[in-house]
Structure 1
């Protein structure tokens, strides 16, 4: 029964060591909870699991009939061994690069670990990448083999083969490539793979993950096996109840974020390392993802804020259709108050407890049910979640651990400390990590999880030195980090006011009608914004206002719609001073998409491209009388 499930209480985190300058905290370090192994690699994990707990379910696969079937540690190790032998039989040598272009699937993880067991370096490519993007990554990495998911992706790579003379192999999951690799390696003894595993060390390169490239060509981040061990082992120890136990249910997660992104990859490795049951969901289309969540029923999830916003907005729209919008809004306010009390470590009063008992079956349980029914923890990263949503989910019975990190840091560098959350921050440094604030406000990071440098660039970050992140942030008196913006995104108005756009954009993006938002105003007299409309939210608005047939070019000028967006802008403006507030906005007919070149694969804004493509609309925002 759901009511019987309660989060296990985590152990208190290690206290940070703070360094202050003139009374201001400028550096925070948290001692490591786990060290980097002296030998071995990620390729050893399946075999260590099989030796220690051969019958334990470490993965689950969804069959054609929709049923999830467990894969034991012994079964996964056997599959990894068989595919690794096939890779060796096909002529791949130690250190060769193997590119993988696919959605989040079991085959992705299987080939990743098989590649490591065979001594290879795996290179992820986003499944949505264009032909030129894929070609660049294969060329720059020097990959000699590439595995894709389906025929469409195979055609993309095939069309570029003339520019990739050293790409000797192109394999397609959907046409049985892994089975053929297993067949090819049947004649090889197991010892061939074990010898390659024995030769790998923590200092060896595990993967090249190419940054999304908000400007210019993506760069390959060289991440070693030791980088991953430093990251996942400390995360697993810190977030003990997330990775190791939730009441009587074994910990499990359904991974739907791309494995080509460091966030998804880090959690996949961490799950195998901690023997947390891992499932894969290749589609984030709402109906398909909700069906997978209902079938798999994970105990925790990792998500980007967009997914949590979508779940919240969908629930709110459903309530409005049922004529219960006011009730949902009251429940949301109660949840935020409950979340704030929990974060402050204070018990709710009698009135709040009664309200929770009322709204739990009406609203909160439905939110949890949408995530599968057993989720008690969410690891959120990729961009700031915002204190409103974090408080709402906490009050609804789902504890949120927010993190911050880069591809260059193998994922998270800070995370919400168990038992010590603080809304609006990204927590303390992960154990084994140090955070420093430079004189200009830039966040600097250090630790064993920091990458070895960029591929083919000669640029490296020696252990013990500081990695500049390009992010602006501050540390409070207790050592919590808050990210306030990007150094290169900082807007300076013609009046000399410095404005970090992230807070305004994050707040607006959480509104059901808003798809994306880009704040503008560099060298302009005031701040303005380009706003795109969320398709699902707009459809719901059309239905409620009886404007289904109105074309989009008329809707973006509709006074009722603009009034609703203006109220959201007014709410966002409460976060900042008058000089930093949004004075005007324009509603765009199209959306910012990756296909149009406006978003990176991880959904970050390409500000320069957007500013170029919408130069006329931006100019219009600064003509005529100013609104507000």
Structure 2
């Protein structure tokens, strides 16, 4: 994708009546989108900057800025809204960002950045009302590998942001590979995840645009998102029903919510053709339940270092229990049980020259391949070894516990311990006895060494500081924060609860 403006213009000629993007306030057809992207791209070039940081909620304007960076051959650095000011400053410094666009006027001060007022002349560019704009005292020249056009930061298990550098070609190759695999002409895609999440950015925006589709971008409030982990379930369900999309991307928690809603009588719109679920292992039983309830759900696998998606189940090629069929833009091999990906490698990490230009990505995930199908068996660095010498993947036990939509979050612990315990959360309407009964049922599906003997109930607010943008709990930080409570679980009767 060398010229995004030219591509949008060609699509406008082919499909003049199709809206490219919609939100609750406006809609743009492909020609209008091309004009907005070109205008902003020209303005960005005039600023003579190499890296633009983008901090804002889901909106058409967010997409315009992202595409304008492509058009201007400028690095785009999306910043997750849930990042702390300290994390945001770290991202800006690592990437050497030279321009900051944010909806929050007080953000520079919160990040302890002494910046001048917004750039003069900013009223002349297409987005004067939503974004404030500041020049930054950083430089990306020596911070980034050559060819970087997108930096996606992930907090990882330690909470320290790490910037994955991607080329423009890599992003669009993944998007095209997904478009070919999903094969829905002119899809209407509903963006439920934050656009700063690479998966939604590539699979939810770029891929539908390549197919001449429509990207629907509701605000956080419109789609029922209250912060990074709170959810207004009725509003989310109403949003889906009103938009009537062809496709969506879910994290496992959202899938459990939809399954629970269907079990209570809610019906997904018949327009739905493809619902991808990623961001964590999904229990095959939950997928089966979803499909029996009329949800066309398909599991996928990927990571930021590979441009998001590596393998995917689709309506024409689906294998429940598999992470997906390996997509044609990449190759996968197994080395000492670890999944290793080539052909779709990031350029390295921002500010870490020793990591630049890898030929392969060692994912840290354990897996195996059967023909073109990829199966994920666990994660090497999260492997628990009990005091009885049993190797246990906590994600395996967690997926069983999360296979019914009773729990919101669950983390299994027990490294060097005689049995497993769980830290978990559930809606306030769920009683402790319901949780105890469900754990007993889940334990019946597990061998004795993998059963949960003790559990600690936390509320979602307590877990919020340890969540990533994809809804994953940062295991290492969580275990450190609740170390005392976990120790108490191993000092009491393991048969209680």
Return the TM-score normalized by structure 2.
0.87
Q: Secondary structure at the match of 1:475?
A: strand
Equivalent residues of 1:42, 1:225 under 8 A apart:
no
Gaps of 5+ in 2: 131-145, 226-231
Distance 2:450 2:215 in 1: 44
1:233-248 matched pairs, under 5 angstroms? 233-241=176-184, 244=185
Residue in structure 2 matching 1:264, options 200, 206, 219: 200
Q: 2:161 aligns with which of 199, 210, 218?
A: 218
3-state DSSP of counterpart to 2:281: coil
Quote how far apart the aligned CAs of 1:113 are. Answer: 0.8
TM-superposed deviation, 1:176 = 10
| Structure 2 residue corresponding to 1:601, chosen from 446, 469, 475 | 469
Residue 155 of structure 1: aligned partner: 106
Structure 1 alignment gaps of length 5 or more: 1-36, 64-68, 183-202, 245-249, 320-362, 542-560
* Alignment RMSD (CA, Å): 2.7
Residues 49, 275 of structure 1: 8 Å contact kept: yes
**For 1:458, which of 342, 353, 356 is the aligned residue?**
353
1:342-369 deviations in Å (ceiling 9; x for gaps):
xxxxxxxxxxxxxxxxxxxxx4xx3214
Indicate how the Cα distance of structure 1 residues 132 and 423 shifts in structure 2: closer, same or farther if over 3 A, else same: same
Q: Which residue of structure 1 aligns with residue 306 of structure 2?
A: 409
Q: CA deviation at 1:265?
A: 0.7
* Counterpart position of 2:174: 231
Q: Which string of whole-angstrom CA distances, capped at 9 and with x for unpartnered residues, describes residues 281-304 of structure 1?
A: 222233443343233221111111
- SS of residue paired to 1:133: helix
Q: Deviations over 1:80-114 (max 9, x none)?
A: 1122223234x233xx1111111111110011111
The 3-state SS of whatever aligns with 1:58 is: strand
Please say if residues 146 and 169 of structure 1, whose CA atoms lie closer than 8 Å, have aligned partners that are also in contact: no
Q: Counterparts of 2:77 and 2:6 in 1: how far apart (Å)?
A: 19
What does residue range 557-576 of structure 1 map to in structure 2 within 5 Å? 561-576=431-446
Task: Kindly report which structure 2 residues correspond to 1:361-510, keeping only aligned pairs within 5 A, or say none.
Answer: 363=265, 366-369=266-269, 373-439=270-336, 441-447=337-343, 449-460=344-355, 462=357, 465-476=359-370, 478-510=371-403
Q: Distance in 1 between matches of 2:356 and 2:311?
A: 19
Structure with the larger helix share: 1
Point out the structure with max Rg over C-alpha: 1
- TM-score, structure 1 as length reference: 0.69
The one of 42, 53, 74 equivalent to 2:31 is 74
The 8 Å contact of residues 516 and 592 in structure 1, kept in 2 or not, is answered as: no
**Cα gap change, 1:57/1:408 in structure 2, threshold over 3 Å: closer, same or farther?**
same
Q: 1:236 and 1:55, CA in 2 relative to 1: closer, same or farther beyond 3 A? A: same
Offset at residue 252 of structure 1 (A): 0.4
> What SS does the aligned partner of 1:217 have?
coil
Alignment partner of 1:303 out of 229, 244, 250: 250
Q: Say yes or no: does 1:115 pair with 2:69.
A: yes
Distance in 1 (alpha carbons) for counterparts of 2:112 and 2:453: 51
Q: Alpha-carbon deviation of 1:307?
A: 0.9
Residues 146 and 55 from structure 1, CA distance in 2 versus in 1: closer, same or farther, beyond 3 angstroms?
Answer: same
Decide whether aligned partners of structure 1 residues 509 and 252 sit closer, same or farther in structure 2, where only a CA change above 3 A counts: same
- 1:235 and 1:314 mapped to 2: Cα distance? 28
SS at the partner of 1:431? Answer: coil
